[in-house]
Amino acid sequence: MTRTRASTVWIDWDRHLRSRTLAHRLGVELVEIRVGGSRLGRYLRSIPRTVAVIRSLRPAAVIATNPSLVLGLLLLMLRRYYGFALISDAHYLGVRAMNGNTLWQRLLDFHNKCADLVIVTNSNHAQYLTDRGCRAYVCPDPLPNLRAAGSPAASVPAKAILLVCSFDADEPHEAAFSAFARLQPLGFVSFVSGNYRKALVDPAVFPWVNFLGFMSEDEYYSYLQQCSVVVDLTSLEDCLLCGAYEALAAGRPLVTSDTRALREYFGAAALLTENTPEAIAALVERAYAQRDELRLRISAWVVENERWMQGRIAELAARLQRLPGAP
């Protein structure tokens, strides 16, 4: 039996909350292709699976999460044969190469210029792409529905702090650990999510920090909803943080880095800090002291943000319909 041509399919070579929430809001099918092993091995197994999806669904439009750039380049080739519109949903590393890698940046710029549309999270990335002849559209992450995650089960102290961390190079986790050492005599108890082993962190060096390691989604959301203050930090400009979205969706007081993108988007609801132990500690203490006021600010921000996001998503859906090859 021949399958009816799909209108739009979203392909992700990983599992991203943004892909899931935005695909759901757009009403498009999401295909997550996740394989283990080395990077080369993952590519070699993901490529034929992606080709099989395109051959089976024959979509009129494909949205692809970037990273992976390899996925994006593969879809550029497949577009020649299957005639679909190609939309890139570009995370930070889908626009700017880490550490200023010139060759990688040229590949990113080439891919983004060839795509029919590039969705980005902030206006600075949109301007960067527009200056290079790309077609860009700004749409931050929709807030996740944490009510669907179930009831919180974690039991934490009243003055609990959660550092949302992936232990990537842009995250000043040691500055946060030093801040938590300053806060411990004040009764604060710190928890840190994420795979600390990949950054070669020895928990014995930081005995005042509770390292949670890799957790299931339910466990993570349980801690997120129970801790009194959430901290999520980056040294990158123009990088909007998943933990910041999640903290505000959970109504948790948020301390995040004072970068332009984070200030412009979350500034009305969060406390913004320099990435130093002194500043982080002072802002966590302030967030706890002002937690009731911050929760009111967060509630107002969430309502206003949802109103604005409805418009952005509706306009994005309309633009997808107008792309060449789209249904």
User: Helix, strand or coil for residue 235?
Assistant: coil
> Which of 273-282 are b and which e, b meaning 16 or more Cβ less than 10 Å from the residue's Cβ?
bebebebbbb
How is residue 215 written in tokens? 């957790």
Q: Report the relative pairing of strands 229-232 and 160-163 from DSSP bridges.
A: parallel
Q: What is the pLDDT of residue 229?
A: 98
Q: What are phi and psi of 156, to 5 degrees?
A: -130, 160
Q: pLDDT (tens digit, 9 = 90+) per residue, 140-186?
A: 999 998 866 555 666 789 999 999 999 999 999 999 999 999 999 99
Write out residues in the chain with pLDDT < 50, as ranges: 1-4
- For residues 130 and 159, the answer to whether their CB atoms sit within 8 Å is no
Own/partner contacts of 205-214, CB < 8 Å, gap of 24 or more, are 206/177, 206/180, 206/181, 208/180, 208/181, 208/184, 209/177, 209/180
Nearest alpha-carbon partner for 302 in 254, 237, 232 = 254
Give the predicted TM-score (pTM) of the model.
Answer: 0.92
pLDDT of residue 155: 79
Domains, the chain, with CATH or none: 8-139 (3.40.50.2000), 146-302 (3.40.50.2000)
pLDDT in the model for residue 266: 97
